[in-house]
């Protein structure tokens, strides 16, 4: 199963990707997590990514695409993967297609977790109090939602046009949403 997970910040992509990865037996690959590990470790990649992340902007495509290309070439992704947080704009989506074509494969499904912006803003502000992520402040949350609406949301039409899109309501309990996702992917 080769899948991408779409949905606004705070829709629960990270939580659900971890669960779905267990159910599907494929690795969950989160570009945001990879960037955060690099920021923490003070790597060159982390130093580049940090300023963009802290402002709620996308990290430049050439940086992100190269990172994903390396990750997808690893053995554990050969039989499938669940991408969380990539692609995030049409250019990345085109790049992903060509990476997969080079590997002799293609996407099976694009799953959109839907949630309205008021709900996700509340969730992110609450998460800020627990986790203290640098980009969970109100102005940066607003910026991330803007970026989602302008750059990432158009991907749903892109994948729908290819018959790959499934939409899952992200409101409700964590288990409930996982069950919906499993059912949607199986269908
Ligand atoms: P969220 O979905 O809650 O905004 P993520 O952990 O997915 O959180 O992403 C955090 C930040 O990491 C993004 O705001 C962006 O700066 C960077 N990032 C993650 N994925 C990408 C990507 N595909 N392209 C560019 N930047 C990315």
Residues 114 and 12: their CA atoms lie apart, in Å, by 9
Residues 116 and 111: their CA atoms lie apart, in Å, by 16
C-beta of 59 in contact with ligand 1 (< 6 A): yes
Whole-number Å distance, alpha carbon 104 to ligand 1 midpoint, is 27
Whether 23 is a known active-site residue: answer no
Q: Is residue 40 part of a domain?
A: yes
Q: Is residue 125 part of a domain?
A: yes
**Hey, CA dihedral for 150, 156, 160, 163, is it positive or negative?**
positive
C-beta of 52 in contact with ligand 1 (< 6 A): yes
Q: What is the pLDDT of residue 144?
A: 95
Q: Is residue 130 part of a domain?
A: yes
Q: Is the peptide bond before 34 cis (omega within 30 degrees of 0)?
A: no
Pocket test for ligand 1, best of 5, 18, 35 (most atoms within 8 A of CB): 35
Residue closest by Cα to atom 2 of ligand 1: 9
Q: What is the pLDDT of residue 173?
A: 93
pLDDT in tens, 77-118: 999 999 999 999 999 999 999 999 999 999 999 999 999 999
- State which residues form the domain around 47: 2-182
Sheet with strand 28-30: strands edge to edge? 28-30, 81-84, 2-6, 109-114, 165-169
Give the global pTM. 0.94
Q: Is residue 149 part of a domain?
A: yes
Q: Are 8 and 117 in contact (CB under 8 A)?
A: yes
Q: Is residue 81 part of a domain?
A: yes
Whether 88 is a known active-site residue: answer yes
Q: What is the pLDDT of residue 133?
A: 87
Whether 127 is a known active-site residue: answer yes
Q: Is residue 187 part of a domain?
A: no
Whole-number Å distance, alpha carbon 178 to ligand 1 midpoint, is 22
Q: At residue 169, what are phi and psi to the nearest 5 degrees?
A: -70, 120
For the CA of 88, the nearest atom of ligand 1: 23
Whole-number Å distance, alpha carbon 113 to ligand 1 midpoint, is 16
Q: Is residue 9 part of a domain?
A: yes
Residues 108 and 80: their CA atoms lie apart, in Å, by 10
Number of domains in the chain: 1
Q: Is residue 33 part of a domain?
A: yes
User: Per residue in 88-126, is it b (16+ CB within 10 Å) or e — as a string?
Assistant: bbeebbebbeebeeeeebebebbbbbebebeebbebbee
Q: What's 144's domain CATH number?
A: 3.40.50.300
Q: Which residues of the chain fall below pLDDT 70?
A: none
Q: What is the pLDDT of residue 187?
A: 84
């Amino acid at each position: 199963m080769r899948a991408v997970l779409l949905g606004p910040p705070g829709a629960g992509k990270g939580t659900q990707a971890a669960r779905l990865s267990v159910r599907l037996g494929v690795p969950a690959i989160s570009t945001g997590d990879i960037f955060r590990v690099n920021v923490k470790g003070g790597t060159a990649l982390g130093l580049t990514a940090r300023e963009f992340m802290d402002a709620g902007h996308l990290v430049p495509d050439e940086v992100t695409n190269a990172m994903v290309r390396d990750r997808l070439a690893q053995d554990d992704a050969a039989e499938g993967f669940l991408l969380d947080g990539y692609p995030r704009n049409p250019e990345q989506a085109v790049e992903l297609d060509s990476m997969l074509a080079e590997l002799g494969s293609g996407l099976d499904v694009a799953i959109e977790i839907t949630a309205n912006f008021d709900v996700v803003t509340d969730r992110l502000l609450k998460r800020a109090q627990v986790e203290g992520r640098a980009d969970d402040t109100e102005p940066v949350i607003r910026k991330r939602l803007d970026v989602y609406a302008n750059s990432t949301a158009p991907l749903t039409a892109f994948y729908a046009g290819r018959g790959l899109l499934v939409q899952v309501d992200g409101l409700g309990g964590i288990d409930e949403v996982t069950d919906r996702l499993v059912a949607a992917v199986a269908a």
